Amino acid sequence: MSAAMPHSVKTESLTNQVYKAIKEQIGSRDFRPGERIHEQVLAQRMSISRTPIREALLKLERDGLVICNSRRSYNVRRLTAADVKEIYQILGILEGSVAGLVADQITPDDVELLRRYNARMEAVSNKSDFLAFGAWNRKFHDVFLSKFGNRTLCELCDSVRQQLYNFPISRSSLREWLKKSVREHTEIIRLAETQRKSTSGIRIGAGKRILGTSKRRMTVTGMLPCRLSRRC
């Protein structure tokens, strides 16, 4: 295990603290896809019992970030291209619908905020910084989600979206994929600020951005490492 965990955790909610720590290290690739997570090692390093470790791993399993094997040990989930396609479909349904429902609530200030976030995404895409891109992408879509005012939906979208940052991406194709995403976000902004577009038009446009056409599936396949891609 390559992760350097904190030596101790001192909070009232140990389970939540451990959950956040492991989740962060999965996102930062300290725990890599397929890697085994050792409960006893974490418990020793954090100077706590195995109970909050186990409870945190159960939460991460519900999030789809780890899997439990037959020996009751956990491994970081390794996503396939089919998994990623399904995740985009789920986000397309959820976020695309919300974008349509709140279209008439989007203000010029919101549009400017969307432009700012997309500019940030473009800047980090030039550095192929996948994690920073994900953080700004979340802020972008939160502009729409916050208008809807459904906390449970926001948490659900976060949980689903987080799985994408556990995907084993081929770095050679990462920059191209991020730049394509920036262009698609630019189209969402165009739809949001065009007053003559109907609510359904914005819903369809936002849905297409995430849902995944055959072209998107080709892009996802291009992100795969050779051991998963048929083209290698």
Over residues 77-105, the pLDDT tens digits come to 887 778 878 888 888 888 888 888 888 88
- What topology does CATH give the domain 81-223? Four Helix Bundle (Hemerythrin (Met), subunit A) (1.20.120)
Specify the CATH number for 14-76; select among 3.30.930.10, 1.10.10.10, 3.20.20.70, 3.40.50.300.
Answer: 1.10.10.10
With 90 as the cut, is the pLDDT of residue 179 above it? no
Arithmetic mean of pLDDT, 3-26? 72
Within this chain, domains 14-76 and 81-223 share the same CATH topology: no
Q: What is the DSSP string of the chain?
A: ------S---SS-HHHHHHHHHHHHHHTTSSPTT-EE-HHHHHHHHTS-HHHHHHHHHHHHHHTSEEE-TTS-EEE----HHHHHHHHHHHHHHHHHHHHHTGGG--HHHHHHHHHHHHHHHHHHTTT-HHHHHHHHHHHHHHHHHHHT-HHHHHHHHHHHHGGGGS---HHHHHHHHHHHHHHHHHHHHHHH-TTS-HHHHHHHHHHHHH--HHHHHHHHHHS-TTT-TT-
The more confident residue out of 127 and 213 is 127
| 81: its two tokens | 């291209």
78-87, 182-191, 217-226: least confidently modelled range: 217-226
Residue 166: band (very low, low, confident or very high) from pLDDT cuts 50, 70, 90:
low
Q: What is the mean pLDDT of the chain?
A: 76
CB 142 within 8 A of CB 228: no
CB 75 within 8 A of CB 64: no
This model's pTM is above 0.85: no
Whole-angstrom distance, CA of residue 173 vs CA of residue 225? 10
Arithmetic mean of pLDDT, 177-194? 86
Residue 188: band (very low, low, confident or very high) from pLDDT cuts 50, 70, 90:
confident
Residue 202: band (very low, low, confident or very high) from pLDDT cuts 50, 70, 90:
low
Share of the chain above pLDDT 90, in %: 23
Domain ranges of the chain: 14-76, 81-223
With 70 as the cut, is the pLDDT of residue 196 above it? no
Q: pLDDT at position 25, please?
A: 84
Whole-angstrom distance, CA of residue 219 vs CA of residue 214? 9
Q: pLDDT at position 113, please?
A: 95
Q: pLDDT at position 6, please?
A: 52
With 60 as the cut, is the pLDDT of residue 46 above it? yes
Q: pLDDT at position 168, please?
A: 55
With 80 as the cut, is the pLDDT of residue 212 above it? no
With 80 as the cut, is the pLDDT of residue 173 above it? no
Residue 174: band (very low, low, confident or very high) from pLDDT cuts 50, 70, 90:
confident
With 80 as the cut, is the pLDDT of residue 45 above it? yes
Q: pLDDT at position 181, please?
A: 87
With 50 as the cut, is the pLDDT of residue 107 above it? yes
